[in-house]
Structure 1
Amino acid sequence: MSENCNQSCNTCSKDCAERRENKNDFSEKPHEMSKIKKVIGIVSGKGGVGKSMVTSMLAVTMNRLGYHTAILDGDITGPSIPKAFGIKEKARGSELGMFPVKSKTGIDIMSINLLLENDTDPVVWRGPVIGNVVKQFWTDVIWNDVDFMFIDMPPGTGDVPLTVFQSIAVDGIIVVTSPQELVSMIVSKAVKMAEMMNIPIIGLVENMSYFQCPDCGKEHKIFGNSNIDEIAKKHDLKVLAKLPINPKIAAAADKGMIELFDGDWFEAVAKILEEKLR
């Protein structure tokens, strides 16, 4: 817009008009050397529901099927992805840009903990700064020939989810919840945020849905009866998976061996994601 603009769009040049139309366009392009086919956001209405665990397991599942997967860890103040994969080396860069760190099975990962001197150092930053870091993980990191990128977003509907939805071309999101009615109510907020911003919702994943007794095989609802089917029906969404409470999965993540988890819970999700790539 010209310094001498008289606010009369009827006499404005085409270029000026285009700039005025695009002034609210916050979209960012990935690094010029990146090649990313599909971007899937993993979100939750609140913390503590196992969103990072689901992100990790989805990346591992698709990697096992022969796809090149990547994880952009958007949970800047509570990054747990490198720990789950047992990654201790730091991310490196060059004059071209930053490079993600590869896991044992070849999954590309970028997380703030891969840039900190000590992985226990706190990230005491305000929201806008955190949002900018997530954008830099998109624009400044060279993601080479990725079939599926999974973005592990912090819980809630604040700065970072808003930044991701506005600046990154997300192909769809998966919402993670747990059985408690309170959590289910908060999940509706995350679903409505995505709907408001026209982000496709692939479906819901309920974590900690039940515990299966190893002796008798009976399922126990540790956190009470699930409400996920009602929420899915209310928003016309699919329930993609109901994950059990499994100490072996938690132990694998604690030991940095999430790539060794054993389970077929994500088969239905994998088929849906494969359809998106066709």
Structure 2
Amino acid sequence: MSSLDENRVKKALQRVEDPALEHDIVSYRIYKGCEVSGNKVLVHVTIPTPAYPKDARRELEKRITEALTQEGAKKVTVKAEVETAWIPPPSDKMNLQGPKNVIAVAAGKGGVGKSTVATNLALSLVRHGAKVGLLDADIFGPSIPTMLGPPDKPAGTTPDQKILPAQHHGLKVISVGFFVDKNEAVVWRGPMVHRLLQQFLQDVVWGDLDYLVCDLPPGTGDVQLSLSQLIPIAGAVMVTTPQEVSIIDVVKGISMFEKVEIPVLGIVENMSYYVCPACGHNDEIFSHGGGKRLAQETDVPFLGEIPIDSRIRFGGDSGVPIVASLPDSEHARCFMDIASRTALGIAERILSQPKRSPRLAVIR
């Protein structure tokens, strides 16, 4: 057997499949190079999102080691660096300063827990180690300020009149609810909504963010169209409850995103089932499985299901969402898994485009 060199290492690693992205690590640019010294090999790889599962990372290192050991390596060291994959915006979109990937959280109708999912999704990404912002784009019914409670640091302005977002539980947050009385109705026409969104995007000092989560209003109205026109959106997460009346409206939402060329990252089924805390009986109050069935019918990923639980409701009402208040609970883990699948979906879409090299922002 010939001695190891960089070409042999790369050829061997072309047969290694990334356990999370399910594609070989060379064509997906996970493999970045190597250093060979005799029968010792140092392999450099990039992890394309902070939400990459820990068990998948261990499995990746194991697969690389096994592949190179079969080629004669006696010692294999894998050096991994977390870098968030993203693509620069096209010339016809506003260059959003700071955030690299925008995630829209949407629902076909109100009352399905969209804001609860958006808030806990954003907090889960923070727990995964990402730098995250949360934009409350539900102009007429802003609920994020209530769900997050009093800020650790309130919103403010810079000397040049830029907006500084509030900070809650490690999140940078902006909402129209910070600037109007909570009992005052926002009665605006479409152009005013468009200008406010433009200000929130252009004039807010978001800073360096891996993800900006946008909580959209329900339906397919002005806010969705304005955002799609103003900035590039990495993808949308659709929130539904299991029953048919909700599923019908999600189909319309998916159709809207297809028309404005925004990929749907997946579907979350909220209020999926209820487990009695006394006897453990599982009750499917709003039916069950509608979200998963819709995902199969529309050929989009199913990101996960969230049960009905008073602790989730209480977390939103009290201003401390369950991911922050009970981070080790089973329900918090559900949100963590959904966040990981969402981030991996973004990375997979970017890394599967060989003709467009993504920029990589190193997380320090």
Common fold, TM-score beyond 0.5?
yes
Summarize the alignment of residues 239-250 of structure 1 with structure 2, pairs less than 5 Å apart. Answer: 239-250=302-313
Calculate percent identity across the aligned residue pairs.
36
Q: Tell me, yes or no, if the aligned pair for 2:303 and 2:341 is still in contact at 8 Å.
A: no
Q: Which residue of 1 aligns with 2:118?
A: 55
Secondary structure of 1:47 counterpart: coil
Q: Which residue of 2 aligns with 1:27?
A: 93
Q: Tell me, yes or no, if the aligned pair for 1:49 and 1:207 is still in contact at 8 Å.
A: yes
Q: Tell me, yes or no, if the aligned pair for 1:181 and 1:227 is still in contact at 8 Å.
A: yes
Structure 2: 5+ residue stretches without partners: 1-90, 348-359
The aligned amino acid for 1:204 is I
**Alpha carbons of 1:101 and 1:267: their partners in 2 closer, same or farther (altered >3 Å)?**
closer
Q: Which residue of 1 aligns with 2:341?
A: 272
Secondary structure of 1:121 counterpart: coil
The aligned amino acid for 1:142 is V
Rounded to whole Å, the distance in 1 between the matches of 2:224 and 2:140 is 14
Q: Tell me, yes or no, if the aligned pair for 2:266 and 2:342 is still in contact at 8 Å.
A: no
CA RMSD in angstroms comes to: 1.8
Q: Which residue of 2 aligns with 1:109?
A: 173
Summarize the alignment of residues 37-48 of structure 1 with structure 2, pairs less than 5 Å apart. Answer: 37-48=100-111
1:260 pairs with 2:345: no
1:92 pairs with 2:156: yes
Q: 1:96, CA displacement in angstroms?
A: 4.9
Q: 1:226, CA displacement in angstroms?
A: 3.4
Q: 1:229, CA displacement in angstroms?
A: 2.4
Moved over 4 A (4+): none
Provide Cα deviations, 1:4-60, integer angstroms capped at 9, x if missing partner: xxxxxxxxxxxxxxxxxxxxx973222xxx311211000010111111000000011
The match for 1:198 among 244, 261, 285 is 261
Summarize the alignment of residues 137-216 of structure 1 with structure 2, pairs less than 5 Å apart. Answer: 137-216=200-279
Q: Which residue of 2 aligns with 1:135?
A: 198
Report the TM-score when normalising by structure 2. Answer: 0.65
Structure 1: 5+ residue stretches without partners: 1-24
The match for 1:82 among 116, 139, 145 is 145
**Alpha carbons of 1:183 and 1:26: their partners in 2 closer, same or farther (altered >3 Å)?**
farther
Rounded to whole Å, the distance in 1 between the matches of 2:264 and 2:215 is 15
Q: 1:139, CA displacement in angstroms?
A: 0.9
The aligned amino acid for 1:124 is V
Q: 1:163, CA displacement in angstroms?
A: 0.7
Rounded to whole Å, the distance in 2 between the matches of 1:208 and 1:274 is 22
The aligned amino acid for 1:268 is D
Rounded to whole Å, the distance in 2 between the matches of 1:205 and 1:273 is 10
Q: Tell me, yes or no, if the aligned pair for 2:155 and 2:167 is still in contact at 8 Å.
A: no
**Alpha carbons of 1:274 and 1:232: their partners in 2 closer, same or farther (altered >3 Å)?**
closer
